[in-house]
Structures are given as structure tokens and as C-alpha cells.
Amino acid sequence: MQEIKVTLIYFGLSLFALLALAPWILNFQIGMMAIKALVIYGGIVISFLGGFIWGWDDQKNNSLNLWCAIGFSLMGLSIALLASFLITASLLLLIASLQIFLYFESSNSSYYQSHTKYADARNLITNLVTICCITSLAFIFNPYT
């Protein structure tokens, strides 16, 4: 099961990478649509990760964790909604929420703490998706586009 989780994590990264590179290859209008798609997809992922907390089967799955799960899901919704009119703010919120969730998971999930291959993959993927977001911000603020 752990191998499937790690493989699916990498498949999820491929869409982030494609959407982050598209603006640099295609024209400006399509590039901005790709960045919006990246942010909306990121919001969906954050919401999914928030819901993932409900399935944690350990002693640390207390009511505070479940409230945090709802908070992450609402943060994902906010990111997706902001993508239409505040793309920079939504990218920054996505970066922050990815890093906060990684910290939250590493502190509270016994699965994360006991499966090093999964933990390494989550760390790597979170940082690579963060780089994809920073690449998108660089495109937005690039004076030559």
C-alpha cells in the first residue's frame, strides 16, 4: 500500500510541473490560465489532504485535529476561489498551506512518523510543488512577459 501512495504522490506532482512550465513555453494568456489551473488544483489537493486527516487511525486523532482538517479544507476552497481575481495572493496562500500541512502531518500522523519512505516522498513533493508555485510567481512578476 505504501508503494501505491508514493507512486500516486509522484503522479500528482507531474500535473503541477506541467502547469508551472506551461507559461514559460506558451503565450501569456494560456500561461495565466495554466497558473490559475495550478492554483485551483493546489486548492483541491489541500482540501483533499485536510479530509485525509479524518482517516488517520491513531491515538492522536483528537477533536482538535478534526477541526484542523476542516480548516485545511476551507483553506483549499479559499485558494481555489481566490485564483480568479487575486492570483498572487492565492499562490502565496497555497505555498503557506502546503508547508503548514506538511508540518502538521509530520507532527501528528503516526503513519508519517513510522514510514520513512512515505515521509521522504511527502517532504520532497511538498517542496517541489512549492518550487512550482514560486516558478509561477516568477512568471507573473517577470518584466519581460
Give every CB contact of residue 5 below 8 A, 6+ residues apart in sequence. Answer: 118, 121
pLDDT over threshold 90, residue 3: no
Q: What CA–CA distance (Å, rounded) separates 74 from 127? A: 22
Distances (CA, A) of 31 to 59, 101, 102, 127: 45, 27, 28, 22
pLDDT in tens, 58-104: 655 577 888 888 999 999 999 999 999 999 999 999 999 999 999 99
Q: How confident is the model over 102-134, as pLDDT tens digits? A: 999 998 888 888 888 889 988 999 999 999 999
